[in-house]
Amino acid sequence: MAAPAAARAAKLLRAPALRPALLAARSQAFQLTSRRWLNLQEYQSKKLMSDYGVKVQRFFVADTANEALEAAKRLNAKEIVLKAQILAGGRGKGVFNSGLKGGVHLTKDPNVVGQLAKQMIGYNLATKQTPKEGVKVHKVMVAEALDIARETYLAILMDRSCNGPVLVGSPQGGVDIEEVAASNPELIFKEQIDIFEGIKDSQAQRMAENLGFLGPLKNQAADQIKKLYNLFLKVDATQVEVNPFGETPEGQVVCFDAKINFDDNAEFRQKNIFAMDDKSENEPIENEAARYDLKYIGLDGNIACFVNGAGLAMATCDIIFLNGGKPANFLDLGGGVKEAQVYQAFKLLTADPKVEAILVNIFGGIVNCAIIANGITKACRELELKVPLVVRLEGTNVQEAQRILRSSGLPITSAVDLEDAARKAVDSVSKK
């Protein structure tokens, strides 16, 4: 990589005036590039829980209002709870863009289930944990409602600072647990588990007691906690969160809500679970990119970036900012590149109407630059590229790559290093 430019960039990064913009862009990019732990919908998590002997309510899943109505009738329950299925929490207090308030509703009338489902399915539900515009609801859960006498909080997480699993619980559940942690930290209880020894009876009992389960309920809660831990371990979860972990007036301990995240490294041995991955909440363009083994991240500027590797993506983002521009997106090619992928990458990059210029910044370590160059010229011709294209290639077979680009006769601007590339890309946009 061009060391002098990187050194200059590093120095500029320390300039206080530039920091906010850079940090904002970086944190956004980091957030978006960070691993996407598999996260199942509530109904899928509850199915797993029930397979492991954890107590959940009877339920059906529906993707139309009519199906929801039928499910409500079939449940034949005293009371029904209807729950919008999205990956974010805080649904109870959420709002739909249909005007309906609340992503969780209780009713005794199956017809009301149908009417409410009509205002949920196909609409966006916005909660404290979603983007402002909310997340589109494709499915609803229709479950038998149970009375809740008390709501507690229980989670099992893989915690780096504890080198293993930790039980986290609070007798004050149902509500936002972060708020409890802030206002009443003494009401948050933890049990560190030795992953080799497993959960001890005494730990499960102590947590049950701390959660306020009394008498025979204490043993029942401890048993549920042990079963949840067993599930956590067997499915390679990174987090199992139950809020509320509640008790009914009849003396049942029940998991009323469920959120399970999984370790992506375990995909090879959790094929059935990963097959349930619900991609409907991804951006369609991300899914399309994933089909070609490309990673796409949408940002809000106007310069499309085609790079290889997350590090180079960050550097490219920074240097575009330093030159007064804003990235529109990133497409990360990764390692073993094929010409067809480069073509697909250009197709995806130019599909975004915000894009006014494309900056290719590829460092050929494993990647052969000539393959990239051939992919670029092919894409330019076939897609009849309308926006300026600035290309910076470096590394393996770069001379041949440059020859291919030069002799193509296409209006491609070559750049000698990253700084030069960023400046040219920013200039090509601002000149318009």
Q: Residue 297: enclosing H or E segment and its boundaries?
A: strand 295-298
Listed in sequence order, the residues at least 6 apart from 58 whose beta carbon sits closer than 8 Å to its beta carbon are 75, 77, 143, 144
In the set 43, 67, 151, 153, the catalytic residue is 153
178 is catalytic: no
DSSP assignment of 389-416: EEEEEEETTHHHHHHHHHHTT--EEE-S
Residue 92 interacts with ligand GDP (CB under 6 A): yes or no:
yes
- Per the CB < 8 A criterion, the answer to whether 21 and 325 are in contact is no
241 is catalytic: yes
Min dist. Cβ of residue 103 to Mn ion (A): 10
Per-residue binding letters, 240-269, with ligand GDP (x by CB under 6 A): ---xx-----------xx------------
The token pair at 200 is 């001890």
Binds ligand GDP by CB under 6 A, chosen from 6, 30, 115, 174: 174
Task: Report which of 122, 174, 176, 117 is spatially closest to residue 151, judged by C-alpha positions.
Answer: 174
Min dist. Cβ of residue 91 to ligand GDP (A): 3
174 binds, among Mn ion, ligand GDP, none (CB under 5 to 8 A by kind): ligand GDP
Residue 90 interacts with ligand GDP (CB under 6 A): yes or no:
yes
Q: Which segment (25-33, 140-148, 348-356, 389-397) binds ligand GDP by CB under 6 A?
A: 140-148
Binds ligand GDP by CB under 6 A, chosen from 72, 85, 89, 358: 89
Residue 327 interacts with ligand GDP (CB under 6 A): yes or no:
no
Residue 146 interacts with ligand GDP (CB under 6 A): yes or no:
yes
Number of residues that bind Mn ion (CB under 5 A): 2
Residue 395 interacts with ligand GDP (CB under 6 A): yes or no:
no
Name which of 57 and 302 has its Cβ closer to ligand GDP. Answer: 57
Map the footprint of ligand GDP across residues 42-61, applying CB under 6 A.
Answer: 57
The token pair at 87 is 């990956």
- Per the CB < 8 A criterion, the answer to whether 337 and 308 are in contact is yes
- Strand intervals (E) in 4-122: 38-39, 59-62, 80-85, 95-96, 104-107
Q: Which segment (81-89, 263-271, 327-335, 358-366) binds ligand GDP by CB under 6 A?
A: 81-89
Min dist. Cβ of residue 79 to ligand GDP (A): 7
Name which of 254 and 266 has its Cβ closer to ligand GDP. Answer: 254
- Per the CB < 8 A criterion, the answer to whether 19 and 27 are in contact is no
Q: In whole angstroms, what is the distance from residue 425 CA to residue 292 CA?
A: 26
294 binds, among Mn ion, ligand GDP, none (CB under 5 to 8 A by kind): none
Name which of 236 and 241 has its Cβ closer to ligand GDP. Answer: 241
Residue 172 interacts with Mn ion (CB under 5 A): yes or no:
no
Map the footprint of ligand GDP across residues 189-228, applying CB under 6 A.
Answer: none
In the set 67, 151, 191, 241, the catalytic residue is 241
Q: What values do phi and psi take at 306, rounded to 5?
A: -115, 110
Q: In whole angstroms, what is the distance from residue 61 CA to residue 66 CA?
A: 12
Q: How many CB atoms lie within 10 A of CB 380?
A: 19
Task: Report which of 276, 279, 257, 226 is spatially closest to residue 59, judged by C-alpha positions.
Answer: 257
Report DSSP state, residue 160: G
- Kindly list the catalytic residues: 153, 241
Residues that bind ligand GDP (CB under 6 A): 57, 81, 83, 89-92, 104, 106, 145-148, 151, 174, 243-244, 256-257
